[in-house]
Amino acid sequence: EAGVTQSPRYAVLQEGQAVSFWCDPISGHDTLYWYQQPRDQGPQLLVYFRDEAVIDNSQLPSDRFSAVRPKGTNSTLKIQSAKQGDTATYLCASSFCGGYYAEQFFGPGTRLTVL
């Protein structure tokens, strides 16, 4: 069974540029999560979906970050006008349902550097 895949694996930008990250969850998983992991920190949830609906985006900086999952499968996270403070690894995870017993499976992440 294929795991969670993400692309690109690395991205280097100048401040002010835009970037998109793409995630393909495990087949059949209805819940998809995006995390931001700054260097030497634990992952912090940005947004998560059940099917195509956003369940929680309270930690997503809405002025520059956006996330979609239009068909309830793949997802794209986009940063408009990146800042140096956005430098981090962006992890995607998926699970079947989202309750207490649902295990989240993580992709390898996209390491973003904003110069």
Q: How far apart are CA 3 and CA 92, in angstroms?
A: 11
Rounded to a whole number of angstroms, the minimum distance from the CB of residue 42 to other proteins is 3
**Residue number, 46 or 114, with CB nearest to other proteins:** 46
- Residue bearing tokens 């992890």: 91
Smaller CB separation from other proteins, 40 or 63: 40
Other CB atoms within a 10 A radius of the CB of residue 48 amount to: 25
Among 12, 18, 54, 55, binds other proteins (CB under 8 A): 55
CA gap 74, 112 in Å, rounded: 20
Q: Does 44 bind other proteins (CB under 8 A)?
A: yes
Whole-angstrom distance, CA of residue 115 vs CA of residue 14: 5
> Binding other proteins by CB under 8 A: which of 40, 53, 63, 71?
40
- Rounded to whole angstroms, the Cα distance separating 107 from 69 reads 16
Nearer to other proteins, 13 or 94 (CB): 94
Residues that bind other proteins (CB under 8 A): 4, 40-45, 48, 55-56, 91, 93, 98-104, 106-109
